[in-house]
Amino acid sequence: MEKLPYEKPYIKKLQAGALNKFGSRTGLQPVKSIDGVSVKSLIENYGSPVFVLSEKQIRKNYRAAYRAFSTRYPKVQFAWSYKTNYLNAVCQIFHQEGSWAEVVSGFEYRKALGNGVPGNKIIFNGPGKSINDLQLAIEHNSLIHIDHFDELNLLLTLSKNLVNKPRVAIRINMDTGVYPLWDRFGFNYENGEAWSAVTKITGSGSLQLVGLHCHIGTYMLSADAYGIAANKLAELAVRCQTELNHKIEYLDLGGGFPSTNTLKGAYLPGNDTVPTIDDFAEVITSALLNFGFANDDLPLLILESGRVLIDDAGYLLGTVIANKRLANGKGAAIVDFGVNILFTSFWYEHQVSPAQDFAAHTENMVIYGPLCMNIDVIRESINLPLLNPGDQVVVHKVGAYNMTQWMQFITLRPAVVLIDEKLRTHLIRKNETLEYTAEPELVPAHLNNNK
Ligand SMILES: *Cc1c(COP(=O)(O)O)cnc(C)c1O
């Protein structure tokens, strides 16, 4: 019989507990406060609906993630994924913790500069950089991650007569055993395209190839996929060294670690099923440590985690407008926030908690938003007690991708409040007003009846 390969032991927090007969671990409890600040007072002071972020939880998440990697690998750097949540106050928390910025557009790039991030700590990703964006990034000595050959050719033109060669990396897509393949971004590994890009850059003499990058997916449930990705990047880095005598300074494994939200249609809650950040850290760092780099020659490991660092630090508080019974007898509650501000309700079965005491009886109901649109469903099916008009609710784990993808549609976007570590509350984005939405509009004179 073949001997099983040795696996070194590691300690992992046990997350699973006993299920009750409804599948979840805990009974339904009212959620009357966030970090000790009462839901009632938050709504009273900032309006309803209102997004609330916990600074304490954001920092806790960041430190746990950093610890998971830095205790296993000597050179680790996180870069905050701006598109996950680019409210300036949020970005500054991550930058205070030591995070660089990871941006995917000229707008985000300028936002990072505005937040005081030094140019050489901004990673510029994405397929849509303009000439102006690239020039700005070159001037600030940023890390430009090239997505395609047209961008590479443009960069070669822009850098022809420069004394300081721009520092670039290439984004690489690959088969990691997770399908459908994300082959739309970057250069493909398996068909040799990535290697062609490498040799074109190193042969040009006008760009410095400093890193290799991948971002293999989002809400990834397979830690093993990251082991495959780490191996493929490491293989290319070693090949650069041996065949081109060129040293790669860093490997950027991107983001994609899942938050503990429950995906729509999942049988078990996300809390019980998603791998932990330690699982991912273990697989990625083992792959790199075992690859055969000399100990003093390990590449810097960069991570661009987004949702896992902030989802559970965000809450949406709202108010019940009405309840009704549908023609089929099912209960329904109408709340004052719609899918236009809670985009992730298309993907997740967000936990919704009443914010006040309630009667013991619960029933299966649907939660609608206030938009005059059939798709405006926050939860298709959730067990909750009777919710009366004026009752308040808390939606959990909404910190990622809502405060960037939200849109002004039918209703205005609400305020965002940060609770700091001393439990003080800060308005970090004002609620929108009619004047705010009207400001960029222009009415031609012949249509201006009232003036
Ligand atoms: C969106 C994005 C991230 C963050 O992804 P998460 O799944 O939220 O961790 C990181 N890197 C790149 C290139 C991205 O586009």
Cα 243 to ligand 1 centre (Å): 31
CA distances from 229 to 91, 215, 266, 280 (A): 27, 9, 26, 12
Distances from the Cα of 252 to the Cαs of 118, 137, 362, 391, in angstroms?
19, 18, 47, 46
161 CA distance to ligand 1 middle (Å): 33
Q: What are phi and psi of 424, to 5 degrees?
A: -85, 145
Provide mean pLDDT across the span 255-275. 92
Q: Does ligand 1 lie within 6 Å of residue 83's CB atom?
A: yes
Domains and CATH numbers, the chain: 33-52+312-432 (2.40.37.10), 55-311 (3.20.20.10)
Rounded to whole angstroms, what are the CA distances from 407 to 275, 341, 428, 432? 31, 6, 18, 11
- What is the rounded CA–CA span in Å between residue 114 and residue 422? 27
> Residue 10: pLDDT above 90?
no
Q: Residue 343: which of 318, 375, 321 has the closest Cα? A: 375
pLDDT, one tens digit per residue, over 179-208 is 888 889 999 999 999 999 999 999 999 999
Residue in 77, 81, 143 to alter for ligand 1 test, most ligand atoms within 8 A of Cβ: 81
- Mutation to probe ligand 1, out of 146, 304, 402 (largest number of atoms < 8 A from CB): 304
CA distances from 441 to 340, 437, 449 (A): 21, 8, 15
Integer Cα distance of 233 and 295 in angstroms: 17
Q: How far apart are CA 154 and CA 168, in angstroms?
A: 13
Task: Give the global pTM.
Answer: 0.93
pLDDT, tens only, 386-409: 999 999 999 999 999 999 999 999
Q: What is the mean pLDDT of residues 247-260?
A: 97
**Can you give the length of the chain in residues?**
451
Q: Is 104 in the pocket of ligand 1 (CB under 6 A)?
A: yes
Which residues is 51 bridged to in the sheet?
Answer: 316, 416
Confidence of residue 26 (pLDDT cuts 50, 70, 90): very low
Cα(83) to ligand 1 centroid in Å equals 8
Q: Are 84 and 400 contacting, i.e. CB atoms less than 8 angstroms apart? A: yes
Is the pLDDT assigned to residue 380 strictly greater than 80? yes
**Ligand 1: centre distance to CA 306 (Å):** 6
pLDDT (0 to 100) of residue 2: 64
CA dist., res. 165 & res. 183, Å (int): 29
Residues paired with 395 in a beta bridge: 316, 352
Question: Would the CB of 84 count as within 6 Å of ligand 1?
Answer: yes
Which of helix, strand or coil describes residue 243? helix
* Contact in structure between 143 and 211 (CB atoms under 8 Å): yes
What is the 362 CA–ligand 1 centroid distance (Å)? 38
Q: Are 366 and 378 in contact (CB under 8 A)?
A: no
pLDDT confidence of residue 266? 87
Q: Residue 210 in 3-state DSSP?
A: strand
- Which residues are bridge partners to 393 per DSSP? 318, 354
Question: Residue 132 is inside which H or E element, if any?
Answer: helix 131-139
On whether the CB atoms of residues 307 and 321 are closer than 8 A, the answer is: no
pLDDT classification of 9: cutoffs 50, 70, 90: low
Distance 342 CA to ligand 1 centre (A): 19
What's the 213 CA to ligand 1 centre distance in angstroms? 12
Beta bridge partners of 417: 52, 427
Distance CA 209, CA 165 (A): 10
Query: Ligand 1 within 6 A of 85 CB?
Result: no
Maximum alpha-carbon separation in the chain: 90
Question: Which atom of ligand 1 lies closest to the CA of 400?
Answer: 8
Burial class (CB in 10 A: 0-12, 13-18, 19+), 30: middle
Could you give the C-alpha distances from 435 to 269, 338, 412, 432, 439, in angstroms and in order? 42, 21, 11, 8, 6
- Average pLDDT, whole number, for the chain? 94
